[in-house]
Amino acid sequence: MQGLSFSELCCLFCCPPCPSRIAAKLAFLPPEPTYSLVANEEVKSKFQLQLNEKAEWPYSERDKDTIESFYTRTSRGNRIACIFVKCCSNARYTLLFSHGNAVDLGQMSSFYLGLGSRINCNIFSYDYSGYGASTGKPSEKNLYADIDAAWHLLRTRYGISPENIILYGQSIGTVPTVDLASRYEVGAVVLHSALMSGMRVAFPNTKRTWFFDVFPSIDKVSKISSPVLVIHGTEDEVIDFSHGMSIYEKCVKSVEPLWIDGAGHNDIELYSQYLDRLKKFVSVELANQPQTQSSKTTTPAVITTTTTTTQQQQQTKSGATSASKPGNSSSSGSNNINTSTVNSRTNEKTQLLDDKTKKQNSNNQQELPPAPPAPTINEKLL
């Protein structure tokens, strides 16, 4: 993203110069609500999701019966809207999905139904304070309180154990996702277009976390003890690709990431590799998690910037960029291994960022299967 002008800097830091106000100016763009929750006449605690014309719904009206809608109260007193999308009757995992900016549950509901049915997961999601039918105002503190309330509701209302919950965060949604994952062990974590911190998005040359910084996910990811899948587009015009790389490097239990060549901030879902990687992560890697975790200590996870198996083979033969992220080693030469690991990551990051400006793979861009279309997310910064 381009640097901010002097007047924008003054507005950002001087009116007034406190992290909560900076966060509000940087990140939050709640759209006009695209839905409402209509109370059930017979059971007052039950609600029906009623979509307006701004929310696309490519399915039948009957499919809306798969969505349960309700409210919960956060520790900060806000009432937030929640939905549970029962996509699969035999789903092992449930995604706790924290969506991106400038969308609400109405716009995301059809996407959830399509995504969950394709990766065999149910999806629980919520609107941030000040979004959709949720009360209050969006803020960093409310983000954390919102996901806490959603987390506890998912566990108590549906009795889902932590090991069967996958925390999924997209864009600004990675902020509460990282925060929760750093405090609770869960089945897995997916970070889609994640940011290191607010200041690092606004000012790309920022090298440290300042006291007035907001959304400092880069300082929390190392505390996540669950497997983490990082997804990022190499041409992300909102949150630079380097954010995804740095987040990946900081994760203790990261799996093979998904770097999609040519993808931006709002079109990752349009690439076939997106669904393929999620299916593999859920159905194969998590299903064999004990073996996967054990092998990670001895076998590096290969990172590639390619988008298809054929391209991977071709680029490997031609010496294209690939690097490994070794785990811990119990061998006597551990010091040497640690040194080579640091050098490998440095070279890997430099090469990938160089390749980012050279590769154009627009022919690889494909839409998701007919239902649902990926939501249009017109985000300002995050």
For residues 282 and 317, the answer to whether their CB atoms sit within 8 Å is no
Residue 45 bears catalytic tag: no
Provide the b/e sequence for 128-155 (b: ≥16 CB within 10 Å): bbbbbbbebebbbebbbbbbbbbbebbe
| DSSP track, 131-182 | STT--S---HHHHHHHHHHHHHHHHHHH---GGGEEEEEEGGGHHHHHHHHT
Residues paired with residue 81 on neighbouring β-strands, in sequence order: 71
Nearest C-alpha neighbor of 268 from the set 294, 229, 221, 298: 229
If you write DSSP's letter for every residue of 16-57 in order, what string do you get? Answer: S--HHHHHHHHH--PPPP-EEEEEPSS-TT-EEEEE-TTS--
Catalytic residue among 99, 232, 243, 265: 265
Task: Count the alpha carbons within 13 Å of 92 in the hemisphere toward its beta carbon.
Answer: 10
What number of CA atoms fall less than 13 Å from residue 153's CA on the CB side? Answer: 24
Q: Spot the catalytic one: 236, 240, 261, 267.
A: 236
Write down how long the chain is. Answer: 382
Q: Which of 98, 117, 139, 171 is catalytic?
A: 171
Active site residue 236: yes
Neighbours of 212 (CB within 10 A): 12
174, 273, 370 from 144: Cα distances, Å: 11, 31, 34
Q: How far apart are CA 331 and CA 345, in angstroms?
A: 20
99 is catalytic: no
Tell me how far apart the alpha carbons of residues 223 and 209 are, in angstroms, rounded to a whole number.
16
Distance CA 35, CA 53 (A): 9
Short-list 170, 100, 377, CA closest to 266: 377
- Alpha carbon distance 126, 70 (integer Å): 10
Under DSSP, the state recorded for 258 is: E
Instruction: State how far the Cα of 22 lies from the Cα of 214, in Å rounded to an integer.
Output: 8
Alpha carbon distance 209, 214 (integer Å)? 9
Catalytic positions are: 171, 236, 265
